[in-house]
Amino acid sequence: MAVTSRFDLIGKVALITGSSRGIGESMALDFSAAGAEVIVTGRKLQAAEAVVDKVRQSGGQATAYAYDATLQGEPEALAENIRRDLGRLDILVNNAAILRPHTVEKLSYEEFEEIFTVNTRAAVFLSKACFPLLKESEAAAVVNIAAAGAHRPLGGIGAYCASKAAIINFTNTLAREWAPTGIRVNALTPGSVATDMILPTDPERREKFEKDMAGQNLMNRLADPIEIAQAVRFLVSPAASFITGQTLVADGGYLA
């Protein structure tokens, strides 16, 4: 196998949750460019279909599903739809997440439950629901998207940081349990990324926010979503065939 082909995803079917925008959208486009057939999900089907259109315009293959990570039964329904429509699954990226900035004294039960439901519970039960499909693959891989706050908690987003720390712990557990089946399980910690999830809508506040966040890492800039997408592609590609139970950090040196 040629060196470059070790990073290809030709013939793979990849499910990326939360892929109707941001990092997830970049993953969908990057994975497709590498040869994968991509499954795009989002709460709004129309948004997911818009990404599918971009993939197809670039000559790739993609399917869209509406998927609400807050609802019980959605992981099982999504896995059933994938088996019915595509018949296989080789790659799962648990990327869907929400951020509710609040200090602990302002945190409500409802917000706490929502954060852990979307960021943690959904990844656990979607992985479980997709396990029968993944174990049928010759070289399946799972990547759970963590966060720098899982390693270095930040004031104001404590529940979010805790939910992502739980994801890293779950990643290690799943890697141990699924290793006998040949499924690799890793996590990816991105640094500050220029996406709508973290950026203020006000132009002046956004400019200041970007400058402040960029100054916190060694590279003195925010990441482009494609830089995170390519790091995830490495983890699910044949190039990472001996890597499991690990957390790859792509943060520009923030945690250094």
CATH number where 230 lies: 3.40.50.720
Hey, what amino acid is at 5?
A: S
Domain that holds residue 109: 4-197+225-250
pLDDT tens string, the chain, 256 residues long: the values are 676 789 999 999 999 999 999 999 999 999 999 999 999 999 999 999 999 999 999 999 999 999 999 999 999 999 999 999 999 999 999 999 999 988 999 999 999 999 999 999 999 999 999 999 999 999 999 999 999 999 999 889 999 999 999 999 999 999 999 999 999 999 999 988 876 666 667 777 777 878 888 889 999 999 999 999 999 999 999 999 999 999 999 999 999 9
The Cα 109–Cα 50 span in angstroms is 34
Tokens 């997440």, residue located:
97
The catalytic residues are 160
Question: b vs e for 29-50, b when ≥16 Cβ sit within 10 Å of the residue's Cβ?
Answer: bbbbbbebbbbbbbeebebbbb
**What's residue 193's pLDDT?**
86
Hey, what amino acid is at 51?
A: V
Within-domain flag for 111: yes
Within-domain flag for 219: no
Nearest to 141 by CA among 170, 173, 184, 180: 184
76: which 2 tokens? 């099982």
> By the 8 A CB rule, do 44 and 33 touch?
no
**What's residue 33's pLDDT?**
98
Domain count, the chain: 1
| Helical packing angle, 225-236 and 22-33, nearest 10° | 50
Within-domain flag for 15: yes
Within-domain flag for 166: yes
Nearest to 247 by CA among 182, 183, 177, 164: 164
User: What angle (nearest 5°) sits at the alpha carbon of residue 172, between those of residues 193 and 162?
Assistant: 50
**What's residue 108's pLDDT?**
95
Within-domain flag for 205: no
> By the 8 A CB rule, do 196 and 170 touch?
no
Within-domain flag for 209: no
Phi, psi of 40 (to 5 degrees): -105, 130
Task: Tell me whether residue 57 is exposed, middle or buried, using C-beta atoms within 10 angstroms of its C-beta: 0 to 12, 13 to 18, 19 or more.
Answer: exposed
Report the sign of the C-alpha dihedral through residues 82, 15, 75, 142, in that order: positive
Within-domain flag for 214: no
